[in-house]
Every structure is written in structure tokens, then in C-alpha cells.
Amino acid sequence: MIGFDPVYRNLVSSMSIAVKFFASLREQVGKSEERLDAGPAATVAEIWQLATGGQPLAANTLMAVNMEYVDAGHPVQDGDEVAFFPPVTGG
Amino acid sequence: MHIEIRQQPFDPFDEVRDYQRNTLNEAGKYGATALFIGTMRDFNEGDDVRAMTLEHYPGMTEKHLEKICGEAQKRWDIIDSLIIHRVGDMYPDDPIVVVAVWSAHRAAAFEASRYLMEELKSRAPFWKKEQLSEGSRWVEHNS
């Protein structure tokens, strides 16, 4: 019964998140991308923990959600693309 | 404005000339063109560098370059801007990036082109990996 409640279902259902790693972080983590299921109300930092099996998150790591820079505490939503990468060195 | 990520080597002077002739279409309106070209060195942090691989974040890199061109357009009275940036495998003396800005007067072109390069270097998602005589390393600091 309660499973038909759209609000409740939204609270308990998991989210599908695309995770990407670039440059030295890709080599460190050993993968360039994956899709994972996260619990509701996950943050970018929690996605890192899930995706890397609890590796420490270096203080200078840059993070993006849907290709916009965010902080580690930024919430993620179902379908988001979350990316982790080191300081940029273009130009 | 026009931004582009290029997989193959390019000649920045040809690119700017062709853009000015064929796309800009503002002859008589601009009195100033500021041009910055970044070229690969054969040395870094005291070591000989033989080759380099440039990686980017497809989608986010383009989005970010478009954003900074839009910001430059708002902050300065410029007519147009062009950014082309290489990715992939490259060698010393290969052009890495060209930034060109056209404006009626020189101050806006100088200032906007400086702004575009500094923003690109500090925020656009590109990463360099250098091949040295022995082994390779990721560049960690953008000087």
C-alpha cells in the first residue's frame, strides 16, 4: 500500500548516477566511468565514497554535477552526471 | 563567438585569418585584434619534455569555454572572440591554444583576451600528461 504513495516511493527509491573520473584520478581509481545506484539525498562526497570503495578524497579534487562545478556537499539527483578530476592544466 | 576543441594539429595564424575573413564579417568595425597563442615547450620544471597528451572533459570543456566567452562579451565592448584548443598527443612547438578577440579599440581586446586565457587556465577542464626521457607524469600546477 505504502509503495504506491508517490512521495514515500520517492524517499526510498534509489537514484541512478553516472560517475566520471579524469586524468590522474582516473588512473588512481582505475576506471573512467560507471553507473551506480545511490540512496536518496546523497551528496557528491558520498558518491565518491561509493564509487571508489572509500578512498580518501584529496582536498584539491574538483567536482562537477551535470558539467557545472560544485562543492563536495552538493546534493545529487536521479540521472545526474557526477565528475571528479584534479586541478586543471590547460592552455 | 566560436570555441572549438581540435584533435589534430592546427596553424593558429591560418585559423584566425580564415575566421576573420569568412566568419567574422565585420570589416571596418574592428580596429583592434588581440591574439594569444600557447605553444608547447620542450622543457618543464627542469626536465626535458618529449611529448604531451592533453585530455579534456567532452561537453563540460566546451560548455565552460562558451561561458567565459559570454562573460567577456558582457564585461567588455568586444565584437567577437575565438578560442581553439588542442587535445590528444602533441610535440614541442605544436600550438596548444589560440585566443583571438576583436574590438573597436585596443583596451577591450587586450583585457578580454587576457581574461579568457586566465579563466581558461584556471577553470576549463583540460589536463596535461608529459612524456619525459624516462617515464611520464601529470602536470600538477598551471604556471
Evaluate whether residue A90 is within a structural domain.
no
Of A64, A67, A90, Cβ closest to residue B126: A90
Q: The dihedral of CA B45, B58, A54, A46: what is its sign? A: positive
**Grid cell digits, residue A19:** 560517475
Query: pLDDT per residue over B19-51, tens digit each?
Result: 999 999 899 999 999 999 999 999 999 999 999
d(CA A29, CA A55): 8
Sequence-distant (6+) residues with CB within 8 A of B15 are B82, B84, B98
Q: How confident is the model at residue A8 (pLDDT cuts 50, 70, 90)?
A: very low
Domain assignment present for B37: yes
Q: Using only C-alpha atoms, what is the Rg of chain A?
A: 14
| B70 assigned to some structural domain | yes
CB B100 within 8 A of CB B35: yes
Verify whether the Cβ–Cβ distance A90 to B140 is below 8 Å.
Answer: no
Please check whether residue B143 lies inside any domain of the structure. no
- When pLDDT is averaged across residues A23-29 and rounded to a whole number, the result is 97
Number of structural domains, chain B? 1
Q: What is the CATH number of the domain that holds A12?
A: 3.10.20.30
Judged by CB atoms closer than 8 Å, whether chains meet at B140 and A86 is answered as yes
A22 contacts in chain B (CB < 8 Å): 55, 57, 125, 127
Tell me if A91 and B57 make a contact (CB, 8 A cut-off).
no
Check pLDDT > 90 for residue A6: no
Residue A91 lies in a domain: no
Q: Nearest residue on chain A to B142, judged by CA atoms?
A: A89
Nearest chain B residue to A63, by CA: B125
More confident residue, A66 or B142: A66
CA angle B35, B40, B43 (to 5 degrees): 135
Does residue B19 lie within any of the structural domains? yes
Under 8 Å CB pairs connecting chains A and B tally to 71
Q: Give how many domains chain A has, as a whole number.
A: 1
Domain CATH for B70: 3.90.1170.40
What pLDDT digit, counting tens, does each position of A65-87 carry? 999 999 999 999 999 999 999 99
Classify residue B62: in a domain, yes or no: yes
B54 touches chain A (CB under 8 A): yes
Q: Is the pLDDT of residue A2 over 80?
A: no
Instruction: Report the residue count for chain B.
Output: 143
pLDDT at B89: 98
Which residue in chain B is spatially nearest to A65 when comparing CA positions? B60
How close is the nearest chain A Cα to the Cα of B51, in Å?
Answer: 15
**Is the Cβ–Cβ distance between B125 and A85 less than 8 Å?**
yes
Whether residue B29 is contained in a domain is answered as yes
- Rounded to an integer, what distance in angstroms lies between the CA atom of residue B114 and that of residue B121? 11
Looking at residue A5, its pLDDT comes to 44
Q: Which domain holds residue A78?
A: 2-85
**pLDDT tens digit sequence for B66-119:** 999 999 999 999 999 999 999 999 999 999 999 999 999 999 999 999 999 999
> Does pTM surpass 0.80?
yes
Predicted-complex ipTM score: 0.93
Residues of chain A contacting B55 with CB distance shorter than 8 Å: 22-23
Of A67, A88, A91, the CB nearest to B63: A67
For testing the chain A interface, which of B56, B138, B141, B143 should be mutated: the one with the most A CBs within 10 Å?
Answer: B138
CB interface of B with A, residues 18-37, below 8 Å: none
Write out the residue range of the structural domain in which residue B88 sits.
Answer: 2-138
